[in-house]
Amino acid sequence: MRRLLLGLGFTAAILIVPIKAADTAHLSIDASKAGAKIDRNVFGQFAENLGHGLNEGIWVGPDSPIPNTRGIRNDVVTALRALQVPNVRWPGGCFADEYHWRKGVGPAGQRPATLNSAWGGVVDTNSFGTDEFMDFLQQIGSQAYVSLNVASGTPQEAAEWLEYMTAAQPTALAKERVANGHPAPYKIDFLGIGNESWGCGGDMTADQYLSQLKVYSHFVRNDNPSQRDANQMLKIAVGPGVAETEWTETIMKAWQHHDWTWNMDGLSLHWYTTPNGWPPSTPSIGFGVDEYGKTLKSTLFMDEFLRKQETVMDKYDPEKKIALVVDEWGAWHVALPGTNKDFLIQQNSLRDAILASLNLNIFARHADRVRMANIAQMINVLQSMILTDKEKMVLTPTYYVFELYVPFQDATFVPVAFDAGTYKQGDVTLPRLDAVAARDRSGKLWIEITNLDPEKPVGIEAALTGIMAKSAKAQTLTAPAVSSINTFDAPHVVEPKPLPVQVQGGKLVLQVEPKSVTVVSVEQ
């Protein structure tokens, strides 16, 4: 990320949102109509050993002059705690497909240096391993989503890793964990059985992966006595990375007739926003309105992608027992000029914040099946929450979207009816407005409104029923341009600010700014 980020700027902007002529959008919200729970795990994160994501981003080592707790950056921990991060996926990603856990435990000075062949062939000291990851989770108050090495590992290696982490009885592996300073067994809430087995995880066919899934699911066990019955570890199988449904069909058909020897609780899905296809080519800086429009149109395909997979899943699992887990998603732009292309370093603009809100809203609408998701990635990689450079840290526009959405964690989805209208930029036509609503566990109503139009504000009149609204408050995220970014020298260009909102005759009345993400809380 280095010094290159300090002076980078953006240009930009344009796009969408539905309504009629231009001025006022009418929303209708019946707070008495309860939908599915928006599982808090939809707001999960992803931390792969890639570039400066772990090393320098999270881990600086206990001897670093950067303030840290047992080697983990204090400033990053403080920032992430504010997001109430529900789960973190680690160690990958493609890195997981060649990760051998034993190299990352024990005294730091005795761990072997290895090559990170998945991402740049750089030397990995293995100083951030299992125990450091679990320490990091404890510091930020999150849960573990551990990805197993199915590609180059073995079922025995995976089973021993789980025993090391979760065994409470005095086995040799449990004693080894105790000797490494961790007497109590760890709690592993989610276990990914492989990663992208159709690609970097082994280039398998669906049938080949299915044979591995059955073996790993049976022999890799969680021995933590606190994880029984309702608290058991959930196993996530590899799902598709393309819009076709053949992979999902194979796995779900087998699951429908599975017996006691194997099981799964979720099927993963990977989908990145790459408007020009693969490899990624859109810039994260210096882009114009045409690229802005194409990017948002591309990201809205997530809805269709989910629907295709859900149609297959519903055929074999009408009770929706198997969760759809979007454990890699976000904007994948071309690497910043002058950086190591294998480190996937990109800037993060207001455009990316709007992209994040649109995806989170899509997940909310699919909450009956999409019960977990992990944006890629947490720090310094792809669409990250945080950028660091030595002792410096800056929060990205995407970070603030996740902060605004904290009240939606485990909230109950409330349908919103509205005329979105359209916005046209070149040959791209998009909705001009997007909106979702939910009631949190205390019953408070929350409404999110995204104005994709980069030039025109939108007046909002939201008719409320099923609730006696007394007052409301709003926070909005916007900036001078869709290409606006936060840098180490100018860290406050894109951050939330209060927005006036009134309650008049059972209606919310406000005006959302162009290119903005707004969250309203309703008091009753």
Q: Which residue is listed with tokens 């792809």? A: 382
> Do residues 333 and 321 lie in contact, with contact meaning Cβ atoms separated by under 8 Å?
no
**What DSSP designation does 330 have?**
E
Which tokens go with 390? Answer: 């030595």
Out of 160, 328, 448, 513, the active site residue is 328
- Burial class for 301, CB neighbours closer than 10 Å (0-12, 13-18, 19+): middle
Q: How far is it, in rounded angstroms, from Cα 367 to Cα 523?
A: 25
Phi first, then psi, for residue 82 (nearest 5°) are -65, -25
Cα 262 to Cα 96, 254, 255, 305: the distances in Å are: 22, 10, 9, 27
Out of 48, 56, 196, 513, the active site residue is 196
Query: Would you list the DSSP string of 436-471?
Result: EEEE-TT--EEEEEEE--SS--EEEEEEEESS---E
Looking from the CA of 285 toward its CB, the CA atoms found within 13 Å total 15
**What DSSP designation does 231 have?**
G
Quick one: the chain helix, strand, coil %, rounded to 5? 30, 25, 45
> Do residues 314 and 308 lie in contact, with contact meaning Cβ atoms separated by under 8 Å?
no
> Do residues 338 and 3 lie in contact, with contact meaning Cβ atoms separated by under 8 Å?
no
Nearest to 245, CA basis, from 307, 292, 192: 307
Q: What is the signed CA dihedral for 396, 401, 404, 406, rounded to 10 degrees?
A: -100
Q: Who's near 403: CB < 8 A, 6+ residues apart?
A: 82, 83, 496
Which tokens go with 341? Answer: 């292309």
Which tokens go with 191? Answer: 């276990």
523 is catalytic: no
**What DSSP designation does 336 have?**
P
> Do residues 12 and 288 lie in contact, with contact meaning Cβ atoms separated by under 8 Å?
yes
**What DSSP designation does 429 have?**
E
Q: How far is it, in rounded angstroms, from Cα 354 to Cα 401?
A: 8
Nearest to 54, CA basis, from 471, 381, 521, 465: 381
461 is catalytic: no
Q: What positions carry a catalytic annotation?
A: 196, 328
